Amino acid sequence: MRIAVIGASGRSGRAAVTHALQAGHEVVAVVRTPAKAPEGPAVAQADARDSAALTAAISGADAVISCIGHVDGEHDATLLHDAADALLSAMAAADVRRLVAVSAAAAYVAGDDPLSRFVAKPLLERMLKGNNIDTRKMEDVIRASPTDWTLLRPSRLVPGDSDSDYRARIDQAVWWHYNTRFDTVGRAAVKALATPGWIDHAIFITG
């Protein structure tokens, strides 16, 4: 399978590239700055909001993994929504249907344990209100698209390696587990491409 990884220079993106290559896939790392691209895959340059550049970057791909996310210290209130709009236009133009997009559990309370639902998430909503609004708008756009989509909703992202024994639930939060390694996100994104039962669902992950 030929996989285009959008945002491949970030920590989740690098993990997705690594796991896709380990699984034997052909990978195109799509980055804004080629000098920051991970070693190994082919590299394509495109800004996340540039639909024309994204179309060229994903041309010939069988699937797209989008690892675009908010960066600490940068205040871009519409990044995820705008990037999703541009990517969906590019996928339509390039005739690519399969999409795995990294979202965030913090923006949702579906099936949360009591500590998350009544303590942690209300605090996070105040602290991350702009990011959460953007995340929900991104998901709305993707859900309304004709793509075969999967949305990954990791809990709080932390560094470190992971193994295959991470926790995942379909459309419901994972109880009593609050951290997810960037490596787990990349691992789960590649698994999603081989898991038809995850299509048209949000997958909460931790581990």
Average pLDDT score over residue span 48-68: 98
Residues 6+ apart with CB under 8 A from 166: 180, 184, 187, 188, 205, 206, 207
Report the run of H or E that residue 147 belongs to, with start and end.
none
Domain count, the chain: 1
Average pLDDT score over residue span 149-175: 89
**pLDDT: which is higher, 194 or 164:** 194
3-state secondary structure of 136: helix
Q: What CATH code is carried by the domain that includes residue 74?
A: 3.40.50.720
Asked if residue 206 lies in contact with residue 174, where contact means CB atoms within 8 angstroms, the answer is yes
- Is 0.85 topped by the overall pTM? yes
Q: What own/partner pairs with CB < 8 Å and gap ≥ 24 does 138-145 have?
A: 138/80, 138/81, 138/83, 138/84, 138/101, 138/103, 139/103, 139/107, 139/202, 141/81, 141/84, 141/85, 141/88, 142/84, 142/88, 142/99, 142/101, 145/88, 145/99
> In the prediction, which pLDDT does 126 show?
62
Give the structural domain span for 58. 2-206
Distance CA 50, CA 34 (A): 15
121-135, 143-157, 162-176: the lowest-pLDDT one: 121-135
Asked whether residue 117 carries a pLDDT value surpassing 80, the answer given is no
Asked if residue 166 lies in contact with residue 190, where contact means CB atoms within 8 angstroms, the answer is no
67-71, 72-76, 105-109, 153-157: the lowest-pLDDT one: 72-76
**pLDDT: which is higher, 100 or 179:** 100
Asked if residue 105 lies in contact with residue 155, where contact means CB atoms within 8 angstroms, the answer is yes
